[in-house]
Structure formats: C-alpha cells, structure tokens
C-alpha cells in the first residue's frame, strides 16, 4: 500500500493509538444505539407481519423489509457518538473505523471490523484521500495534534463543493421550502 509521509507519520499512529483504546473498551451496546436497534427490530417485525398477511395481494412489504437493514448509517453514527463519551476519542477518529453491531437480542454488542482506508489508489496509480482521511487530517488540526502546514494529503476523492447526488431534493427551513432538481 502506498502511503505518503504525512499519513505515515501523523495519521497512522493516531489510528493505531485509537484502535488500542477501542480494543480495551467494553463491547456492550450503549443505550441510545441499543434503543434505536430495538425500535428498528420492532418496525421490521411489523413489516414482516404485514408482508405475511398481504403477500397474496402484493410484494411491497417484502421490498420494504429487504431495503431496511437493522444496522444502517444512522445506527453506526449513534454508536460512534456514544463511544465518544466512553473512549474520549473524537468523533472524526471513530468514523475512521468500521464499527459493526451484533444486533442479535442475546448479544447486543459492537466490535471493530478494522480501519477504513485513509487513501485509495485508482487504476491509473493516482492516490486519493477518502472522506475519513480528510476528517482525520483536519480534525487533528482542530485538536492541535499537528498544524495546518503539516497536512499534506492527496486530492480528496470527492472534491469540495461537488454535488455528488442527482435527482430531486427539498430543502425545508421553518415553513419555507425549496424544491430543486439536481441533475449531473
């Protein structure tokens, strides 16, 4: 794996240090994410029940069940936010790890499945910084772990101010709203 000097000397050691802290942290699900998982499980059970009773008419509920995971990005974010309190690690560090929830009712634990990549290399050999790498680099500046002058990263995989979605969106502020079409 290619690694630039800044990543090797600054980011990688912080990730190793954070991984050691996470390894020593109790693995029981914190209460907010535990309640979230339980509520998703209840909702999925209700959807399965509707699917069973309406299966002969349509397959809509089966589709809803299939596209509704128990661990989604919201559950992961809630877990990371709660781990801020128990580990003392900043959120931008925790989001650099693949946090997995064992949502089996008899378990309800979390674990680290590894670190997310800080950089990626494309087929042409160009190195790019991931969102997680960007968060770690500039979060470290905010924490005064290193200076802005120290930050030396390859281009971000998603350039700043880039609209990465297409389709329709609605922006709601108070009682005002704006309907826009985002097309690439």
144 Cβ partners below 8 Å, 6+ apart?
Answer: none
Q: Comparing C-alpha atoms, which of 86, 89, 88, 114 is closest to residue 100?
A: 114
Q: What is the mean pLDDT of residues 73-84?
A: 96
- Position 4 pLDDT exceeds 80: yes
pLDDT for the residue numbered 1: 46
Mean pLDDT of the chain: 86
CA torsion, ordered 50, 52, 58, 61, to nearest 10 deg:
50
pLDDT for the residue numbered 123: 83
- Position 11 pLDDT exceeds 70: yes
d(CA 103, CA 36): 11
Q: Read off the pLDDT of residues 91-107 as tens digits, 9 standing for 90 and up.
A: 999 999 999 999 999 99
- Position 85 pLDDT exceeds 70: yes
Domain boundaries, the chain: 5-182
Is residue 150 within 8 A of residue 10, CB to CB? The reply is yes
d(CA 146, CA 137): 9
d(CA 174, CA 128): 38
Element (H, E) at 85: helix 73-87
Q: What is the mean pLDDT of residues 33-47?
A: 95
pLDDT for the residue numbered 159: 54
This prediction's pTM? 0.78
pLDDT for the residue numbered 154: 87
Lowest-confidence range among 7-11, 50-54, 86-90, 174-178? 174-178
d(CA 178, CA 122): 37
- Position 178 pLDDT exceeds 70: no
Residues, the chain? 184
Q: Read off the pLDDT of residues 51-66 as tens digits, 9 standing for 90 and up.
A: 999 999 999 999 888 8
């Amino acid at each position: 794996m290619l690694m630039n000097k800044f990543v090797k000397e600054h980011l990688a050691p912080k990730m190793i240090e954070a991984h050691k802290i996470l390894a020593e942290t109790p693995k029981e699900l914190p209460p907010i994410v535990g309640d979230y998982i339980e509520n998703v499980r209840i909702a999925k059970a209700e959807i399965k029940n509707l699917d069973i009773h309406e299966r002969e008419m349509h397959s809509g509920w089966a589709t809803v069940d299939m596209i509704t995971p128990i661990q989604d990005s919201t559950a992961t974010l809630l877990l990371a936010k709660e781990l801020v309190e128990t580990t003392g690690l900043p959120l931008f560090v925790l989001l650099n790890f693949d946090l997995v929830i064992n949502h089996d009712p008899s378990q309800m634990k979390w674990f680290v499945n590894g670190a997310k990549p800080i950089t990626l290399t494309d087929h042409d050999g160009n190195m790019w910084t991931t969102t997680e790498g960007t968060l770690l680099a500039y979060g470290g500046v905010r924490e005064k772990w290193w200076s802005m002058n120290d930050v030396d990263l390859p281009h971000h995989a998603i350039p700043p101010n880039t609209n990465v979605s297409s389709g329709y969106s609605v922006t709601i502020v108070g009682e005002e709203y704006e309907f826009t079409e985002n097309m690439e």
